[in-house]
Structure 1
């Protein structure tokens, strides 16, 4: 082994050891939400309200199985919160609102450094208006093994850097929309439109914005037909890589939202996708159907969202901040 190789190996081992030590020493404030009254609170919003403003500690909110019919907001001044169920199908946050894209969300995450795990978040309103299940407007936010259910604008991926892993996202019209910089890894996207669905409506508005939606190793299914996206912003950017596309995806792949001027400014790419809906031969001429490895390299990595600096491990130790009591 050369000296250079030896130093690289030593550096890698040192980095791993530092990460393990950091993870082992991580302690979080534990809060339990349980509708039966056996936790600290019976509602999720009560638990969030109990977190101090400008919080600097990790707070881990465990939500016991149940259907929580409430509209939940994580304020911008309450960072470092994790909300975790045990299984998404059993831990459901549900509401029915259609005020508008920004105010209708069942769960609105406005804070930075938020983590969501094993939750179903749904807006039951249905077709006919913007009805957001999840709004994410904080920076450094991640969701793992969650389900987002809605119809129009299901996931408002608004602003900030976000990571979604092994999530299920269902909707019909523009059901992943916004101007965040987000990586979706191993996610399942399902279109349930009665007509032609639209999976994404990304809102990048200038070439200087480092935003866009990247889908890596995902799966697209659905009913009827759908397009991969249309431009909410003139410089909309969406890239799919190593993704299975069923025949729900129309051959043209993308829509210009009745504005041909955006065809020269959007960036819509596809790299090594497969399935009946992934055939590049009839894609619109203004999309990148045959991205090279060099084209793809900046997108299909967590570096696209700078995740190495902020994705954090689960806490190893917990402390209780509340006495064992429940609230009505």
Structure 2
């Protein structure tokens, strides 16, 4: 009976995935929404039956997508399937929401790396070179637009500075991949929690954002990378690239910790929710000013257990 139900669920959820994939491919208006929904069938199936039967579902989805669309769509079910199975398997094993999120992020990172490798070997398209070409084309177009509207011409030093800064986009590609994977995992997991709760009357949910607490080891990783960045490193060397990627990711995580503390402080002091929301909005619009302050607040919170002191003061 269980085997029969497993086959039925697998066939039904594979069909749902294919419908969502066709919608995302041929209805551009809702492509973004469908993108976050694509991992959900894999999450639902693997949350019921774990990862081994889910691999069979993934293989079926890959074959069907290749037949119904084209070989070009092959990376999509791989990306969504691996990420979805990692999240669903964590739900099956009753891991905490943040552990589930971490596993989902790893799954989506694997899927995104597969897309890069697949593009390189199947279509002879180097995505890094394509990004570099787009950056140089953007700089050229901006320079021509400035000259056309009489806004002045960039000097050679200014042009080199802009080119170097834009070139960091490819240098920080691993960090961008991790951030995309984080976002995909979070949205897919959040949507899946809602669906599972509705279908199976469970109570899956993320804990309040104010309770987010990152490990103290993150501070040491951040400061070690910061110290190494002060050395005269070869800009084309792997150490330089690794340090800059770690700094970017750790800095973003510190900022998240800072926002979490602001939400915690507002809740502990029974203040209006307008304070933490305003801090987020100001940081989005004026990142060069507020992002560093929020990041510093996150470092202090992790390093000196700031919220524990506030909690003790309330007792």
- TM-score for the superposition, normalised by structure 2: 0.26
Pick the structure with more helix per residue: 2
Larger Rg: 2
